């Protein structure tokens, strides 16, 4: 590896919705790359993609693909990560994994750099990138917890279709057009591709993201619950989630109810803490109708917070509205941040 020119970087799932954003982010942040290797499943191998003006042909990801790779960014689905992440590590790479394959593995740090960057140094070759909905919520909650303590979290999400991939994006687009033309289009992808039943997403709201678990919660809801406790190092924190898919393309919004420990917390004090928090932007001015929306957050790497209100009955209860680009801070940008931290701190 040439220290001057940079690192050998592999992007696994380069043709996917997140993979494409990873490439854009690496390019935008001028990540120090000596050699870039683009990998995918067999299905997408052969695709040509551009990086820094050069054309790269995507190759099928195999164990040997990781020979000489320093950093491998995985976002090709859980089964690809399970099959190949350890193969990459065996060959000397450090893996930043964007799937749910290893997130709750106790030997794998689960990291949002603004929240728990130092967990990265305990990695054993794999660092997990949390679920998109979890990332934006904990980015807002960490500074509040640090200043006022946190006793409870209840969240309802309003999630974009791009989290479910490019085919879901196409489905929303095609279905919306068909609906306005008075035509019928059979839903095929959402709520979850591979499930028995599909429901229309256009002009609808679907209270199912990822598959149902035995306890009646969906896997997306359980990811938010379990990952939040792990990232905040607070196993006993009560967290409940309801995850809902809405018909827009990018950025998730969340209505978050929290109860804090400190009697002195106020809307103004929480606003001040969030103003100073890294990666968080306060957009909270109801008098002037200022609050974030999925469209206003799209394309930006920060987490936006508005609508901060005191609960009317619970003295230590507060409500927040949290919005962020699910493909950037929720996925690509958070992964690249982890990779930057590995380099900056000599944790590779």
**Greatest Cα-to-Cα distance within the chain, rounded to the nearest angstrom:** 61
Which CB, 147 or 335, lies closer to ligand L14?
Answer: 335
Burial code of 151-167, b = ≥16 C-beta within 10 A, e = fewer?
Answer: eebbbebbbbbbbbbbe
Is the distance from CB of 155 to CB of 256 less than 8 angstroms?
Answer: yes
Shortest Å distance, C-beta 166 to ligand L14: 12
Distance, CA of 255 to chain centre: 17
Residue whose CB is less far from ligand L14, 69 or 164: 164
Output the smallest distance, CB 99 to ligand L14, in A.
6
Strands 152-159 and 252-259: antiparallel
Strands 303-310 and 280-282: parallel
Residue (of 35, 85, 14, 27) closest to 53 by Cα position: 27
Q: Which is nearer to ligand L14, 163 or 247 (CB)?
A: 163
Nearer to ligand L14, 16 or 163 (CB): 163
Nearest CB to ligand L14, comparing residues 163 and 200: 163
Residue with the shortest CB distance to ligand L14: 163
Nearer residue to ligand L14 within complex by CB, 135 or 308: 135
DSSP 8-class letter at 212: B
Q: Are 148 and 262 in contact (CB under 8 A)?
A: yes
Residue 107 CB, shortest distance to ligand L14, in Å, is 19
Contact predicate 229/110, CB 8 Å: no
- Strand 94-97, strand 126-128: pairing: parallel
Q: Tell me which residues are annotated as active site.
A: 132, 252
Asked whether the beta carbons of 76 and 19 are under 8 A apart, the reply is: yes
Q: How far apart are CA 53 and CA 207, in angstroms?
A: 41
Which residue, 119 or 220, has its beta carbon nearer to ligand L14?
Answer: 220
Return the number of other C-beta atoms located less than 10 Å from residue 48's C-beta: 10
CB of 200 to ligand L14, least distance (A): 16
Could you tell me the smallest distance in angstroms from the CB atom of residue 305 to ligand L14?
Answer: 21
Helix (H) or strand (E) holding 251: none
In the complex, which residues of this chain contact ligand L14 (CB under 6 A)? 99-100, 131-132, 159, 163-164, 209-210, 220, 223
CB of 59 to ligand L14, least distance (A): 24
- Shortest distance (Å) from residue 105 CB to ligand L14: 14
CA distances from 206 to 141, 158, 210, 226, 300 (A): 26, 10, 11, 22, 26
């Amino acid at each position: 590896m040439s220290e001057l020119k940079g690192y050998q970087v592999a992007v696994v799932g380069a043709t996917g919705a997140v993979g494409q954003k990873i490439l854009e982010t690496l390019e935008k942040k001028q990540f120090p790359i000596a050699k870039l290797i683009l990998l995918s499943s067999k299905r997408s191998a052969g695709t040509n993609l551009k990086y820094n003006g050069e054309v790269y042909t995507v190759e099928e990801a195999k164990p040997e693909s990781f020979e000489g790779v320093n950093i491998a960014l995985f976002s090709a689905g859980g089964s690809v990560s399970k099959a190949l992440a350890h193969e990459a590590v065996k060959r000397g790479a450090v893996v930043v994994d964007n799937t749910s394959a290893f997130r709750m593995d106790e030997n794998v740090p689960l990291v949002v750099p603004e929240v728990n960057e130092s967990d990265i140094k305990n990695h054993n070759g794999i660092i997990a990138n949390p679920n998109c909905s979890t990332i934006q919520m904990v980015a807002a909650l960490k500074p509040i917890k640090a200043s006022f303590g946190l006793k409870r979290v209840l969240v309802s999400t309003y999630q974009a279709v791009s989290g479910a991939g490019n085919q879901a994006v196409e489905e929303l687009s095609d279905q919306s057009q068909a609906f306005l033309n008075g035509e019928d289009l059979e839903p095929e992808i959402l709520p979850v591709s591979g499930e028995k039943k599909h429901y229309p997403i256009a002009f609808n709201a679907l209270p199912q993201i990822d598959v149902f678990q035995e306890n009646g919660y969906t896997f997306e809801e359980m990811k938010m619950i379990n990952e939040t406790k792990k990232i905040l190092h607070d196993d006993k924190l009560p967290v409940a989630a309801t995850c809902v898919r809405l018909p827009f393309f990018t950025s998730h919004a969340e209505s978050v109810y929290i109860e804090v420990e400190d009697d002195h917390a106020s809307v103004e004090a929480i606003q001040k803490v969030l103003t100073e928090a890294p990666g968080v932007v306060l957009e909270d001015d109801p008098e002037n109708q200022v609050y974030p929306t999925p469209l206003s957050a799209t394309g930006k790497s920060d987490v936006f917070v508005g609508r901060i209100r005191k609960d009317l009955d619970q003295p230590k209860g507060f409500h927040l509205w949290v919005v962020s680009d699910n493909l950037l801070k929720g996925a690509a940008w958070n992964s690249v941040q982890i990779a930057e931290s590995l380099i900056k701190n000599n944790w590779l």
